[in-house]
Structure 1
Amino acid sequence: MSERWLSVEEMAEYLGVSKDTVYAWINKKNMPAHRIGRFWKFKMDEVDQWVRSGGAADSDGERDPKQ
C-alpha cells in the first residue's frame, strides 16, 4: 500500500511548525511539495529526506513564531 498524501495542516503538525512556515519553506527553501489544483500536498518520505539533508535549516535567521 502506498503512502498517502498529507495536507499543509498535517505537515505543519508533523514537523511542529506553523502553516505559514510550511508555505515559506515551499517558496524559499524548495521544500518538496506537489500542487494539486489549489492545494499543496506532501509525501512524508520526501519531506523527511529534505529535512535530513538540511533543507529546513535556519540559515537566514528566520524563526517560526510558533516556536
Structure 2
Amino acid sequence: MRVVYTVKELSQLLGISKDSIYAMVREHQIPHIKLRKRILFHSETIDKWLRESSAVFPDKY
C-alpha cells in the first residue's frame, strides 16, 4: 500500500476527475499536503476522511 497518493492516483482510486480533486484542494474539502508545487495525499488520512465522510452521509451509500 502506498504511503502517499498523487492527484492522478487519488482520482483513479476515487473514480473522479483530476479537476475535481484540484477543486476540492482549492476549497479545502480534502486533506492534502503541498510540497513545493506538488499536491500529495497521505493514504491513512484519506482513509480516515472517507470513513468520516460516509458516517456523515450514511443514507447516500
TM-score, normalised relative to structure 1: 0.67
Q: Number of aligned pairs?
A: 54
Contact 2:3 2:44 in 1 (8 A): no
- The DSSP-based 3-state class of the residue aligned with 1:42 is strand
Residue 53 of structure 2 aligns to a residue whose secondary structure is coil
Matched, 1:39 2:59: no
Query: 17-26 or 45-54: which moved more?
Result: 45-54
Report the secondary structure of 2:5's partner residue.
coil
| Paired AA for residue 8 in structure 1 | V
Deviates more, 1:22-31 or 1:7-16: 22-31
Percent identical? 26
TM-score (norm 2): 0.72
Q: Point out where structure 1 has 5 or more consecutive residues left out of the alignment.
A: 58-67
Q: What is the alpha-carbon distance in structure 2 between the residues aligned to residue 52 and residue 4 of structure 1?
A: 18
- Give the number of the structure whose residues are more often strand, by fraction: 2
Q: Which residue of 2 aligns with 1:6?
A: 5
- Which secondary structure does the structure 2 equivalent of 1:41 belong to? strand
- What is the RMSD of the two structures over their aligned residues, measured on CA atoms? 2.0
Question: Aligned partners of 2:22, 2:3: CA distance in 1, in Å?
Answer: 20
- Stretches of structure 2 that go unaligned for 5 or more consecutive residues are 57-61
